[in-house]
Amino acid sequence: MSAESQAGRVAVVTGAAASIGQALAIRLAADGHRVVVADIASADATVAEIVGAGGVALGVRCDISSPADVEALGATVERTYGRCDVLVANAGIYPVAPIAETSWEMWRQIMSVNLDSLFLLTQTFLPGMRERGWGRIVATATNGFYTGLPSLSAYVASKGGVIGFVRSIAGEVGQDGVTVNAIAPSLTRTAGTTTGPHEEMGLFEFTRTLQAIKRTQEPRDLAGAVSFLVSDDADFITGQTLPVDGGLVRS
Query: Residues 81, 94, 146, 155: which is the catalytic one?
Result: 155
Instruction: Check if 81 is active-site.
Output: no
Report in angstroms the alpha-carbon separations of 35 from 74, 83, 85.
13, 11, 10
Measured between its terminal Cα atoms, the distance across the chain in Å is: 26
Q: Which are the catalytic amino acids?
A: 155
